[in-house]
Amino acid sequence: MSLALIAALPFLGALLPGLMIRAGKNACALVTGSVTALALLMLGLNAPAVLRGEVVQTRIEWIPSLGLNANFFLDGLGLLFAGLILGIGLLIILYARFYLAKSDPMGQFYTYLMLFQGAMVGIVLSDNILLLLVFWELTSLSSFLLIGYWKHLPEGRQGARMALTVTGGGGLAMIAGMLILGNIVGSYDLSVILENKEAIQSSDWYLPALILILLGAFTKSAQFPFHFWLPHAMAAPTPVSAYLHSATMVKAGLFLMARMWPVLSGTPEWFYIVATTGLITMVMAAKIALFKDDLKALLAFSTVSHLGLITMLLGFGTPAAATVAVFHIINHATFKAALFMSAGIVDHEAHTRDLKRLGGLRTLMPITFTIVTIASLSMAGIPPLNGFLSKELMLESASQTAWMANPWLLGVLATIGALFSVAYSFRFIAHAFLGPVREDYPSKPHDPGFGLWAAPALLAGLVILIGLMPMLTASWLVNAAASAVTGEVVAVKITHWHGLYAPALWMSLAAIGGGLLLMGLHPRLMALWNATPRPDAKRIFDGMVEPFAALAGRIANTLHDGALTRYIAIGTLAIAAVSYYAFDTGSHAVGTRDLMPVHPVPALGWLALVLATVAIVIYHRQRLLTLVLVGIVGLMVSVSFAYFSAPDLALTQISVEVATIILMLLALNFLPKATPMESSPVRRTWDGAIAVIAGVGIAALAYALMTRDQAFNPISEYHITNSKPGGGGTNIVNVILVDFRGYDTFGEIIVLGIAALVIFALTEALLRAGPANDRLLAWRPDQRRAGDRHPMMLVVATRVMLPIALMVGVFIFLRGHNEPGGGFIAGLIVAIALIMQYMASGFAWTAARQKVDYHALIAMGVLIAAATGIGAWFNGLPFLTSAFGYVTIWPLEEFELATALLFDIGVFLTVLGAVMLALASLSRIGLRAGETVNVQPFDIDPSEGRTLNSGEVR
């Protein structure tokens, strides 16, 4: 379970920042960082086993019938990425505490960050591709929130939408590719898929699966031609940018390619698609980065270039190149996170990231200059820093790989990419920190406090340590991760010197020399770059998206015009058409069952039901009459249930009918008693025809089912067989509700409680004085009312009935497990008894004697039901598994006690509280509205026992 907990911790931690921000920003950051540190600690406890070559697994069955299980596994590759996500995430949390302004909602930021962190950890630990896809899409959604965190900036909102569109679209393609793989192998578990290379690559579906999966990886890791979204994501706060570029989001695409490397690589298709895409991305983005004046834009395109470098190495398809890719993932994370944080420091202190407005910061910001110099030299591949080590190995791999039978082309292009990398890295240092101190900075720059530069300084220290002692500090992690990628044991040897005649030496010297030359020629090259027309990726993207958005808008506005009748008509006709097609093209025979005789009494009941239904259609504009007809329909349905030996359903139906009719009467009291005719005769004819088609179809289906023998064993047989031995009750319906389908019932009472609370909340809003509510508060009855509002006979009858009804409710409740009844019906019976008190004696009289808060009843009911379900866990059983036994208490006979009784108490309280809260809420509207009636003199108000004058407000 440790892996599942590691994946869950960031999501649980996302609940805390919104609460802890009230205790201050330090407390908020401390608690957020503690959750990440705990997850990192738990990961570290699993690291020794992984480094020994073991694979740590956690398997949790979720929906096994669909192959969707919450399975997690941790190998060397997962250890590498999870360590980067959590480790750098911890530094980002520290950095953000001091970077964000006082006006920035820090609690919200940390919540988004933890959601994003949890989605990334879930991706790298998932051992089920369906679960991985869930986490994959969560990264797109949570990154959307992070990139658009500064909602007041148009570029932030646009960057978030662009990132979501591109990565979300790629994710949809990847879903299809992953499902194809699962179908080929016959399992959705990654550990199983990774063992079936031959079956996957020999399948006719290999190429479609490869292309679809790579679309997901390329869009996420900003590979050409999907590279344009990443630089526009720089509108996000710098902590977000540093996290996205170094350890998360874009690295998810690299992780996916590395994870699927054992089964997808080694084919010409993989080589030419992946290696070529990576090479183009590496060179193109490096060139663009050289001419960017914004520090974050320069770093963004440099990230795209290095992502292309790693993609190219994975595309080579050799274990050596894959090992270099793993090593560069580590190095890139360290120096790129440090550089982004440093760029944020410059922006934070100088109030600009524009290289044209910077320069001379070396003496003003010596600490930041030192960090930037170390990280930039590593990015340029200058010895002895860690970036140099992986760059040398990359050039070595490129020089040994032929492309289209050309042995030197890849090496030359890789050298050109490295050359541009040197140029933009030195430009970062020179144009921002070297040169004379300026007098026109937007703000006087200086080094920030320790809290802001501590995280990038630590990363710069790692850059040096890995560069000087690679075998001690990084080889063990590279070996473990590369072994997981390649499927074979890797023992990497990382050195600074590969020999005088090694091609990488001369390629590296050419890159450094060429990069310095480009730096010298930069002013002229910049003028040429500005004068050269070139395509704008953002404009192309907008041009592609806008027509589709306009088309979608036209379709939506045409179909979704707010007319509910249109939606129902379209849906009904579609269902009828599909059903008729199935009937017409399928094989079927006439039913073999004989029809049962129809007796006169049931026939009369059926006729009453039909007539009442037809009358509702004809007289639906008269609301009171319609409500009476609805009551007749409900009554006849209840009688039908009883006739067909379903007393539980009959009791429930009649109880619900009485309660809802009364509530609807109260609600409709505030509305006109008749509605205007809005539909034309043609429209009514059309609607009637659709209704007849649907009705005839349902009747035909019911007739076909009832006249045929069952071709399958219904689930009712299981319930009949196991009701007594499994649930301890002979009332099968009640056992189903409180045991077999108890979770459904639990969800239903929660929904019922929420509905009552919504009615209460709406009532509270309506009772507040204001222009929107003046009409309701000024409401007066539109018809003359009876003088005797509280008839004495009704008052006496209801008060005599109350204790009897309560006793009946208790009786119905207690017998429910073995006879018709139960908590739901009992709750409705008691609610009806209390409703009658409101009707007979008035709201004021009843409310004055109300001793229990209906909100509390709902809360108690849900909590009791939940506690009953949780109790099963202590016995190692699923949620809401009931237990029962038989006891004898003198002088009573032996009787049964079941935990389902407690659950039924929760149902009873929730139903009672929900119905009464709805009634009380609607009653308060009438009371507040100040209903004025014409009463006869000396009318006695039972609630106060005094005489009212004619026309007095009650």
Q: Give residue-wise pLDDT tens across range 676-694.
A: 777 788 888 888 899 999 9
pLDDT band of residue 156 (cuts 50, 70, 90) is confident
- Residue 777: the pLDDT is 58
**C-alpha span between 336 and 298 (Å, rounded):** 12
850 has a pLDDT exceeding 90: no
In sequence order, the 6+-apart residues with CB closer than 8 A to the CB of 823 are 738, 813, 816, 903, 904, 905, 906, 907, 908, 911
Measured CA to CA in angstroms, residue 836 lies from 77, 796, 798, 919 at distances of: 68, 11, 6, 11
Out of 198-212, 426-440, 485-499, least confident range? 485-499
- Residue 565: the pLDDT is 80
pLDDT band of residue 500 (cuts 50, 70, 90) is confident
528 has a pLDDT exceeding 90: no
Beta bridge partners of 78: none
**C-alpha span between 152 and 222 (Å, rounded):** 26
**C-alpha span between 901 and 893 (Å, rounded):** 19
933 has a pLDDT exceeding 50: no
pLDDT 10s digits, 238-278: 999 899 888 888 889 999 999 999 999 989 999 999 999 99
pLDDT band of residue 938 (cuts 50, 70, 90) is very low
* Domain residue limits, the chain: 266-466+498-520, 562-586+596-708, 734-954
pLDDT 10s digits, 702-726: 888 888 877 677 788 888 888 888 8
208 has a pLDDT exceeding 70: yes
**C-alpha span between 224 and 327 (Å, rounded):** 23
324 has a pLDDT exceeding 90: yes
731 has a pLDDT exceeding 60: yes
pLDDT 10s digits, 757-788: 998 888 887 776 566 556 665 666 666 666 66
- Report whether 379 contacts 335 (CB < 8 A): yes
741 token code pair: 């389908």
Average pLDDT over residues 531-538: 74
**C-alpha span between 750 and 909 (Å, rounded):** 12
- Report whether 425 contacts 374 (CB < 8 A): no
- Residue 420: the pLDDT is 93
Question: To 10 degrees, what angle do helices 2-13 and 25-51 make?
Answer: 160
Average pLDDT over residues 378-387: 92
pLDDT 10s digits, 125-145: 999 998 999 999 999 999 999
Tally of helices (H runs) and strands (E runs) in the chain = 41, 6
Closest CA to 266 of 491, 489, 485, 492: 485
Closest CA to 29 of 124, 119, 104, 135: 104
910 has a pLDDT exceeding 90: yes
Residue 946 main-chain phi, psi, to 5 deg: -135, 170
N-terminal to C-terminal alpha carbon distance within the chain:
64
Mean pLDDT of the chain: 86
726 token code pair: 């499994």
575-609 in b/e burial notation, b at 16+ Cβ within 10 A? ebeeeeeeeeeeeeeeeeeeeeeeeeeeeebeeeb
- Residue 931: the pLDDT is 44
- Residue 132: the pLDDT is 92
pLDDT 10s digits, 212-237: 999 999 999 989 888 888 888 888 88
- Residue 774: the pLDDT is 61
- Residue 29: the pLDDT is 93
- Residue 788: the pLDDT is 67
pLDDT band of residue 526 (cuts 50, 70, 90) is confident
